[in-house]
Structure 1
Amino acid sequence: MYLTEIKSGKDFEVKIKSLDDDDYKKISKAQYYFNWKTEKGNNVYKLVLKDEVLGLLSCVHYKNEKRIEIRLLAVSKENRGKSKKYERITGTLIAFACKEAMKKYGIEGCVSLVPKTILKGHYMTCYGMLDAGRQVFLEGQSLLDILKEYEL
Structure 2
Amino acid sequence: MEIIELASGERKSVIITETQKSDLKNLTEEKFFFNWRALEGGSIVYQLQLKEKEGILGVMGLIDFPDEARVEIKLITSSKDNIGKKKKYEGIIGCLIGYACQLSLTKYGEMACVSLVPKTEIRQHYIKKYGMEDAGWQLFLDGWRLLNIVKKYVLCM
Runs of 4+ in structure 1 deviating by more than 3 angstroms, as ranges, are none
Aligned residue pair count: 152
- Secondary structure at the aligned position of 1:150 is classed as helix
Q: Is the 8 Å Cα contact of residues 73 and 115 (structure 2) preserved in structure 1? A: yes
Instruction: Give, in angstroms, the shift of residue 107 of structure 1.
Output: 1.2
Q: What RMSD over aligned residues (CA atoms) do the two structures have, in Å?
A: 0.7
Which of 97, 101, 106 aligns to 1:103? It is 106
Give the deviation of 1:98 after TM superposition. 0.1
Letter in 1 for 2:122: L
Q: Distance in 2 between matches of 1:116 and 1:13?
A: 29
Contact 2:58 2:93 in 1 (8 A): yes
Shift of 1:151: 3.0
For normalisation by structure 2, the TM-score amounts to 0.95
Structure 2, unmatched stretches of 5+, are none
Partner of 2:72: 69
Deviation at 1:87, TM superposition (A): 0.2
CA distance in 2, matches of 1:105, 1:72: 21
Deviations along 1:28-61, one digit per CA (max 9) or x if unpaired, are: 1111000000112111100011221000000000
- Tell me what 1:114 maps to: 117
In structure 1, the partner of 2:16 is 16
CA contact (8 A) 2:99 2:154 kept: no
SS, match of residue 154 in structure 2: coil
Q: Percent sequence identity over matched residues? A: 44
Amino acid paired to 1:134: W
Which residue is equivalent to 2:142? 139
Normalised by the length of structure 1, the TM-score is 0.98
